[in-house]
């Protein structure tokens, strides 16, 4: 009997250790936020204040496969929709945006599924944004609420010691965690900068009937600082856009992407990102009427990359609404 309880204790310890690695370590395994290379393509996924920022209804879908070729490598699927509630159109004269009579509220929703081996997270999010016009600058503030389901597939976890029924029952259960986030953005013709925070409630992970009180099993608060500056080149058909995003948490763990993109006639773009984790990212994209298509390829100088075919990400967006209703100088792509 003592040996049996000792074995159960060892298995629970292993299970908690694996779970903490998956949920906490932001670089080696999956982040508490999904990995996303084309953050400029769908900034709403990072910051709720972007909902309706350009006056258009925008629908985004994306699929990402990390370390292609490895068994059970992480994969992420996401869909978002955001729009501006406009009671009168925004007036654009001489290329500048003039204040409309109404329409400061933006709404948005997101759904994503993030899988990493035996662990999966599915989240649904709802966002509210409020936009304030300041001359030719826009200040945006946003709030989002969301719930995340965490599930562990016991069939994909094999311990050396045979699993007692108690452990099997624990592994097949899932948990639902509510939380919230905030964001703020400042946008002008050429400069855009935003700050956001997620996991404000720092919810405790609870699997089955057990609630683990360790701080290592909380959803830590995550912070993101992101922005870009758009430069018109001498050949006015070309733009150069340096951008950056920095993620961090309260345990002072950080990672960042530094990106440079060249944009031709606002319809084609290519760029390169450097990531502090030691990866570089090639970015390509094009616009066809109201549709936007983006692709990114990640490759790093580490064992995971050497033994895989890199990470690949596809993103598709569509913008709906009359052109007079949008901020033309905030053409997002």
pLDDT of residue 328: 43
pLDDT of residue 145: 96
pLDDT of residue 71: 80
For residue 114, give the nearest of 172, 73, 59, 168 by alpha carbon: 73
Domains of the chain (ranges, CATH numbers): 2-319 (2.40.160.40)
C-beta of residue 63 within 8 angstroms of C-beta of residue 313: yes
Residue 195 phi/psi, 5-degree rounding, is -135, 135
31: Cβ contacts below 8 Å, ≥ 6 apart: 247
| Torsional sign, CA 20, 25, 28, 33 | positive
| Residue appearing with tokens 């999904």 | 34
> Rounded to whole angstroms, how far apart are CA atoms 333 and 330?
9
Q: What is the dihedral of CA 23, 24, 26, 31, to 10 degrees?
A: 20
> Rounded to whole angstroms, how far apart are CA atoms 218 and 203?
6
pLDDT of residue 7: 44
Token digits for 241?
């856009």
> Rounded to whole angstroms, how far apart are CA atoms 92 and 323?
10
Residues linked to residue 238 through DSSP beta bridges, in sequence order: 264
pTM score, whole prediction? 0.77
First vs last Cα of the chain: how many Å apart?
64
- Digitized pLDDT (tens) for each residue of the chain, 333 residues in all: 444 444 434 434 443 443 343 333 333 333 456 678 888 888 898 999 999 988 889 999 999 998 888 888 889 999 999 998 866 555 555 556 655 546 789 999 999 999 887 788 899 999 999 999 887 889 999 999 999 988 877 666 665 555 555 555 555 567 788 999 999 999 988 888 999 999 998 877 765 555 554 455 677 889 999 999 999 999 889 999 999 999 998 888 889 999 999 999 989 999 999 998 888 999 999 999 999 999 999 998 877 777 888 899 999 999 987 654 555 434 433
Strands of the chain (E only): list them.
57-65, 75-85, 91-93, 96-98, 105-116, 119-134, 137-152, 174-187, 191-198, 206-207, 210-211, 222-229, 231-232, 238-249, 254-264, 268-275, 279-288, 291-300, 311-320
For residue 125, give the nearest of 141, 139, 110, 113 by alpha carbon: 110
pLDDT of residue 17: 41
pLDDT of residue 168: 55
Token digits for 259?
């990106």
Residues linked to residue 295 through DSSP beta bridges, in sequence order: 284, 314
Q: How far is CA 4 from CA 1, 163, 184, 209, 328, in A?
A: 5, 11, 53, 20, 68
pLDDT of residue 219: 75
């Amino acid at each position: 009997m003592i040996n049996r309880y000792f074995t159960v204790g060892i298995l629970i310890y292993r299970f908690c250790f694996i779970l903490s690695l998956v949920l906490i370590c932001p670089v080696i395994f999956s982040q508490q936020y999904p990995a996303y290379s084309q953050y400029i393509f769908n900034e709403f996924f990072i910051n709720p204040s972007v909902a309706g920022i350009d006056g258009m209804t925008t629908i985004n879908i994306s699929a990402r496969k990390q370390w292609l070729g490895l068994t059970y490598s992480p994969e992420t699927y996401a869909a978002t929709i955001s729009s501006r509630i406009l009671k009168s159109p925004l007036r654009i004269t001489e290329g500048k945006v003039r204040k409309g009579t109404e329409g400061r509220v933006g709404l948005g929703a997101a759904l994503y599924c993030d899988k990493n081996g035996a662990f999966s997270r599915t989240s649904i999010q709802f966002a509210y944004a409020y936009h304030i016009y300041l001359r030719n600058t826009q200040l945006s503030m946003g709030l989002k609420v969301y719930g995340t389901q965490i599930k562990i597939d016991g069939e994909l976890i094999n311990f050396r010691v045979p699993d007692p029924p108690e452990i099997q029952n624990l592994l097949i259960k899932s948990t639902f965690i509510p939380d919230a986030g905030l964001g703020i953005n400042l946008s002008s013709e050429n400069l855009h900068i935003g700050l956001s925070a997620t996991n404000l409630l720092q919810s405790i992970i609870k699997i089955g009937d057990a609630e683990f009180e360790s701080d290592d099993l909380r959803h830590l608060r995550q912070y993101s600082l992101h922005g870009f500056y758009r430069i018109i080149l001498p050949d006015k058909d070309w733009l150069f856009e340096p951008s950056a995003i920095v993620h961090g948490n309260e345990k002072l763990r950080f990672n960042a992407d530094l990106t440079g993109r060249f944009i031709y006639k606002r319809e084609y773009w290519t760029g390169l990102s450097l990531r502090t984790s030691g990866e570089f990212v090639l970015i390509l994209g094009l616009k066809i009427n109201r549709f936007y298509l983006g692709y990114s390829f990640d490759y790093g100088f580490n064992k995971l990359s050497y033994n895989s075919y890199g990470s690949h990400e596809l993103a598709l967006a569509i913008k709906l609404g009359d052109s007079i209703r949008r901020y033309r100088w905030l053409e997002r792509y």
